Amino acid sequence: MATIINEPAHTFNEYLLIPGYSSSRCIPENVSLRTPLVKFRKGETPALSMNIPMVSAIMQSVSGDRLAVALATEGGVSFIYGSQTVEDEAAMVRRAKSYKAGFVRSDSNISPDATLGDVLRLKEQTGHSTVAVTEDGTPDGRLVGIVTSRDYRLSRMELSIRVRDFMTPFEKLVWAKEGTTLREANDIIWEHKLNSLPIIDDSGRLCYFVFRKDYENHKQNPNELLDSHKRYVVGAGINTRDYAVRVPALLDAGADVLCIDSSEGHTDWQKFTLAWIREHYGDSVKVGAGNVVDAAGFRFLADCGADFVKVGIGGGSICITRETKGIGRGQATAVIEVCAERDRYFEETGIYVPVCSDGGIVYDHHITLALAMGADFVMLGRYFARFDESPTNRVNIGGTYYKEYWGEGSARARNWQRYDMGGDKKLSFEEGVDSYVPYAGSLKDNVALTLSKVRHTMCNCGALTIPELQQKAVLTLVSSTSIVEGGAHDVIQKDTTPSFK
């Protein structure tokens, strides 16, 4: 007969933290969110740690090279999606690793034969008003001009007018050669009162932009996560099929840490993948595995040599695995059980294997709950998909901006490797949906707000570090009525939308 667990599996929304004693030192500015990314032995320092407990999901609609740079700037790690060719993923990793702080690769590019209408559509997609005009419309084509909002007036120009007829031509641009330092570039910007400075190579091809607005930002990134060569730390996703080809290519491109992207990690396929990596690279290559939802799954992957273990099946906002296959577990219950097993494993072996909570995060405070329950960091998809830096288009629907967001198990992604059970190389049925999420602006601003909430809550619990939170936290289950009570209720809320009459 099947083993039946009669205790319900709970979600983050069913828990609250009970505040504890806070000393005078317990203020948000004193809180450290530093956390281990990979396993380490007792008394040793992890080979990789993060300055914030956030990583981005291994998804087409979330983790490209732009988001990898933006998240590493804030102190976290992005895992560039693996559901693309080996060459394309390696190229993304290489671009992120070669990125120079302050030097931005252009993602708004157009050819001189395009029209004003094309410019407006591109601006709506990217949200950027500076458009590089290159001969072939590519990010690294020969620069022939720039278009900004100062170059056109919609009330006086036809949408069919060619870009070449209203752009600011190259001859009138102020530019700098590749090799110019960031300080020199900023001096040029201030001297000539520019908003942006294109950087070109000896052939006139566009390399980067330096923007005036980024000047202060790059002075205010104390949490930047850098490797020993002062490059951003970048992660990458792999699968259990082509790892013998993909892993060497990603390492050659400079990837600092890998993660097996799979909907279910308690399998021989992950065991084989980890064994191959250990046989060829020993412990020098850092690779996470998952996903699991119970103690047995954690123990299996830890014994197989995983550097961290991801927890969560079916809890993502675009995931329908529980609906289609009937497998999974409430995220809070899964995290609590796995983290308890992680602690037992540490006591027995002296090896600490970090736990990543993947999925189930709806509100910012759920991150704090996941950490309090034992997770070392969280993996987020929907959260990061909303930002400028995610790879998807920004679209206008009914006057409101959204970003596209789809699951790796959707027909759009067709990432059969993630759901591979050793059968045919195809996606037999969908385990994810295609959707939109509200556009939220820049990653930097949103992450800063989210982590401010985390720090404040930790202070309410009397904790200045994540391990201290896990030691001191007191969590209570709440009833459905209590959940209602926790929000605004029994009032008529005022309309906060500004009126311009």
Tens digits of per-residue pLDDT, 26-63? Answer: 999 999 999 999 999 999 999 999 999 999 999 999 99
How far apart CA 410 and CA 402 sit, in angstroms, is: 19
Chain segment 295-311, per-residue pLDDT in tens: 999 999 999 999 999 99
The Cα-based distances of 205 to 7, 139, 197, 210 in angstroms read 63, 9, 14, 15
Q: Once rounded to an integer, what is the mean pLDDT over residues 63-88?
A: 96
In terms of C-beta density within 10 A (0-12 exposed, 13-18 middle, 19 or more buried), how is residue 143 classed? buried
pLDDT surpassing 50 at residue 213:
yes
Both tokens of residue 34? 């530093």
Q: Give me the pLDDT at residue 241, please.
A: 92
pLDDT given for residue 500 in this prediction: 43
Mean of the pLDDT values across residues 334-353? 98
Interval 262-272 mean pLDDT: 93
CA distances from 143 to 131, 161, 201, 203, 324 (A): 11, 20, 10, 10, 50
The pLDDT tens digits for 275-291 are: 999 999 999 999 999 89
Mean pLDDT, to the nearest integer, of 136-146? 94
Averaged pLDDT for residues 361-376: 97
pLDDT for the residue 95: 92
Residues 100-139: tens digit of each pLDDT: 767 888 889 999 999 999 999 998 888 888 999 999 999 9
Question: Is residue 415's pLDDT more than 70?
Answer: no
180 contacts 202 by C-beta, under 8 angstroms: no
Question: Average pLDDT, stretch 68-86?
Answer: 96
Q: What is the mean pLDDT of residues 320-341?
A: 89
How would residue 369 be classed by pLDDT, with cut points 50, 70 and 90?
Answer: very high
| pTM, full prediction | 0.80
Backbone dihedral region of 360: left (phi > 0), alpha (psi from -120 to 50 degrees) or beta? left
Residues tagged active-site = 319, 418
> What's residue 417's pLDDT?
61
Q: How many CB atoms lie within 10 A of CB 13?
A: 19
Share of the chain above pLDDT 90, in %: 75
- Mean pLDDT, to the nearest integer, of 475-484? 85
* Greatest mean pLDDT range, 153-157, 313-317, 428-432: 153-157
Neighbours of 269 (CB within 10 A): 19
Q: What pLDDT was estimated at residue 499?
A: 47
Q: Are 137 and 114 in contact (CB under 8 A)?
A: yes
